[in-house]
Amino acid sequence: MVRLPLTQADQERGNRLGARLREARGDRTILQTALDAGISPETLRKIESGRIATPSFPTIATLAQTLNLSLDTLWTDISTPPNTPSLAS
């Protein structure tokens, strides 16, 4: 299967996802968070740095569960660029 190149919007959303996960992780180590989520620490490191801008849904879902994040809230946080009013405003 050929994967299409990421758009600028995909890359920016990936960066916002990584930042949100880092924020939610708080003082927990990457190692402990990754082990709790059942993924490799390197995968989590790449997601948090934006090098994996579009991780699979199961990976996002398990990380959200591990970090006690709602998928709805996470999607809202990463899908709205900074300084853009949300639909709820």
Q: Where are the domains of the chain?
A: 8-76
| Fold classification of 8-76 (topology level) | 434 Repressor (Amino-terminal Domain) (1.10.260)
Tell me the C-alpha distance between 24 and 88, whole Å: 22
pLDDT given for residue 84 in this prediction: 62
Contact 58, 29 (CB under 8 A): no
- Per-residue b/e over 10-42, b at no fewer than 16 CB within 10 Å? eebbbbbbbebbeebbeeeebeebbeebebeee
pLDDT digits (tens, 9 = 90+) for 17-50: 999 999 999 999 999 999 999 999 999 999 999 9
Both tokens assigned to 55: 């991780």
pLDDT digits (tens, 9 = 90+) for 46-87: 999 999 999 999 999 999 999 999 999 999 999 987 776 555
